[in-house]
Amino acid sequence: MMDRREDKSSLSTSPGVITTENFQLRWNVNFATRRIEGDVILSLKILRENVSHLYLDTSNLEIENVEDTSNSEKLAFQLKEPHKCLGTPLEVSLPSTVQKGSTLSIRIVYKTSPTASALQWLKPAQTAGKSHPYLFSQCQAIHARSLFPCQDSPAVKAKYKAKVTVPRDLVALMSAQRGGEEPSNDLSTKTYLFDQDVPIPSYLLAIVVGSLESRKIGPRTLVWSETELVDQAAFEFSETEKMIAAAEDMLGPYVWGQCDLLVLPPSFPYGGMENPCIIFITPTCLAGDKSMANVVAHEVAHSWTGNLVTNCSWEHFWLNEGFTVFVERKIIARLSSKQHRDFHYIGGWKALHDAVERFSTTNKENTKLVLNLDDIDPDDTYSSVPYEKGSLFLYYLEKLVGSEDEFEEFLRAYMEKFKFSSINTQDWKQFFLSFFNEKDAAGVFEEVDWDLWLLGDGMPPIKPSYDTTLSTACSDLCGKWAKAGEQDRINFSSVDIQDMDSSQIMEFLSLLLSEPPLSQTCIREMGRCFNFNASGNCEIKFRWLRLCLKALYEPAIPHAIEFASKWGRMKFARPLFRDLFKLEPARQRAEVAFNDHRDNMHPITSTMIAKDLVEITG
């Protein structure tokens, strides 16, 4: 299982038979029809003899024509039977002249569906400026196939160029270097040029079109957003260059050139997305105090762990995310302290425990690091498990190695060995033991139960010991509130948290969520003391609202519904809607709110919440 390379999430031809070396996109973005129209030229390398057909992943694409670009010969094609969750394979009959070692260039003319799962089209009213429409993409995990016909597998990496035509008053950005504009006499449109000369997997293809402005915040970083948010974003993420430099010191040179940030509208479903050259960031990170900058550290780390060295399939997703959390927290240690690194691991343990608990009643398979994705949409397995369990495994191994410096030497060697390639868990394990062969021979890793860590379900077999300096104040205050009786409420005041930073307040609330429900009197008193309802930090507000719902505090229901409906980040929207669906006084209102707002949500978010609703209410 650890050495499996086949990608069960792709219906395309295996990259061992045919592989895409580069592609060229020519797109017209049509907001009126909510379609992208145009073509893609795929440059293919034939790696086997007797190859007569090419299969590409698609999802709801309208294919108009396929041709061999060398002679404009039309190639026969057909869309095959749709799969229940993996889209519809496109079969292309190849010229009889193809043979092992030859190259082939084909052009596919097509258009996307108005309901393409990779795209969200926003009406002007859904944007901050309220004047212009907006489009953004999210291709991870398997949504690139709704954007263009491709080998939609992380095992396939290709360079790309693009020409993108958009309304003249809008800006287009992609996960590539900006190449300026193509001269045109058309006064209604602009055509932007892009070039990505580092091979990427399809899930890292990204586009955004909107009324965007930028601010320079570093030698290789612009921050982009709508006018209304761009200055706030520039302040919030002003330390991005320090993060890039810390990662370079640890992992080697940054190869992508530009490292821009884009703050998206509220419906963006994730905290961030590591698109090369243009990292997407949720607006929920705009807390006003730079306290959410760890999200940027995570996405910056992905420039190496995930983008440069990539999991060969989504069954090995922990190689992307476990490594990235591990590096993210090392960046935090460099910029803050090792105490802060361990503090984040303490919070991560609880997030992992919550995910394991949730899957314990539905699918324990999803709590393994190496998954089996037979006929399973990778989105259905998404959780903190690959992030936290994976990074914990690396933290544990680092402790066994006994030296952070030595482990970072391994990280640099690992990046150098596998850069520009896609690997599985066995590749990583073999390289790890080879790099530390002397320690392995000396029995340093004898205690490691590799199969239990990688293939076992549930919590990790070992819980590392952490520095608790920063967490003690959180656990002490949690203990006081958890044990508070009616007569104790006069003993609490805002002074209790004045020396805590935002991450400590988040930890305090997270700890309380693991305790039995507070009394409604305590909830009212906490609201009075700390005024969490007025917090501008979405992470704090989210935990506070969950705490209120757990206490069956009905005055919080409308606030929770409003928060879950406004912020499309799945980390917030899914747990809150799940809490609301389970709460009898809130269920009907929550269902109505979800149905009222689902068209404004990203397709990934609305699909997952709809599945949650069915699971909870039947």
pLDDT, tens digit, for every residue of 198-252?
999 999 999 999 999 999 999 999 999 999 999 999 999 999 999 999 999 999 9
How far, CA to CA in Å, does 569 sit from each of 131, 183, 296? 23, 38, 15
Q: State CA 3 to chain mean position distance.
A: 24
Q: Which amino acid is at 230?
A: V
The pLDDT, as a whole number, for residue 286 is 96
The pLDDT, as a whole number, for residue 484 is 84
Does residue 1 have a pLDDT over 80?
Answer: no
The pLDDT, as a whole number, for residue 452 is 98
- Going by C-beta distance under 8 Å and a sequence separation of 6 or more, which residues neighbour residue 4? 313, 315, 424
Mean pLDDT of 144-150: 98
pLDDT above 90 as % of the chain: 93
What is d(CA 507, CA 23) in angstroms, rounded to the nearest whole number? 46
Task: Please report which residue ranges of 116-239 form alpha helices under DSSP H.
Answer: 227-236
Q: Which amino acid is at 467?
A: D
Could you identify the residue written with the tokens 């609305």? 606
Residues 608 and 147 sit within 8 Å (Cβ to Cβ): no
Q: State CA 205 to chain mean position distance.
A: 13
| 3-class SS of residue 158 | strand
| 270 catalytic per annotation | no
pLDDT in tens, 260-310: 999 999 999 999 999 999 999 999 999 999 999 889 999 999 999 999 999
Given the residues 134, 160, 345, 387, the one annotated as active site: 387
Q: Which amino acid is at 343?
A: F
What is d(CA 526, CA 520) in angstroms, rounded to the nearest whole number? 10
The pLDDT, as a whole number, for residue 487 is 64
Given the residues 236, 299, 328, 525, the one annotated as active site: 299
| 387 catalytic per annotation | yes
pLDDT in tens, 529-556: 999 999 999 999 999 999 999 999 999 9
The pLDDT, as a whole number, for residue 174 is 98
Residues 43 and 106 sit within 8 Å (Cβ to Cβ): no
What is d(CA 154, CA 423) in angstroms, rounded to the nearest whole number? 9
What is d(CA 198, CA 200) in angstroms, rounded to the nearest whole number? 6
535 φ, ψ (degrees, to nearest 5): -65, 135
The pLDDT, as a whole number, for residue 488 is 63
How far, CA to CA in Å, does 361 sit from each of 377, 390, 611? 19, 22, 15
pLDDT above 70 as % of the chain: 99
The closest of 176, 116, 105 to 145, measured between CA atoms, is 116
pLDDT in tens, 83-121: 999 999 999 999 999 999 999 999 999 999 999 999 999
**Number of Cβ within a 10 Å radius of residue 493:** 11
The dihedral over CA atoms of 336, 340, 341, 345, expressed in degrees to the nearest 10, equals -160
Residues 52 and 93 sit within 8 Å (Cβ to Cβ): yes
Summary mean pLDDT of the chain: 96
Structure tokens given for 466: 């952490």
What is d(CA 502, CA 505) in angstroms, rounded to the nearest whole number? 5
The pLDDT, as a whole number, for residue 491 is 74
The pLDDT, as a whole number, for residue 442 is 98
The pLDDT, as a whole number, for residue 486 is 63
The closest of 98, 334, 57 to 201, measured between CA atoms, is 57
Task: Please report which residue ranges of 501-537 form alpha helices under DSSP H.
Answer: 502-513, 520-530
How far, CA to CA in Å, does 229 sit from each of 118, 213, 265, 285, 487? 24, 9, 10, 12, 45
The pLDDT, as a whole number, for residue 618 is 78
**Number of Cβ within a 10 Å radius of residue 172:** 25
The pLDDT, as a whole number, for residue 489 is 59
Please tell me the pTM assigned to this model. 0.95
Q: State CA 172 to chain mean position distance.
A: 21
Residues 164 and 175 sit within 8 Å (Cβ to Cβ): no
| 3-class SS of residue 157 | coil
Q: Which amino acid is at 444?
A: V
pLDDT in tens, 17-69: 999 999 999 999 999 999 999 999 999 999 999 999 999 999 999 999 999 99
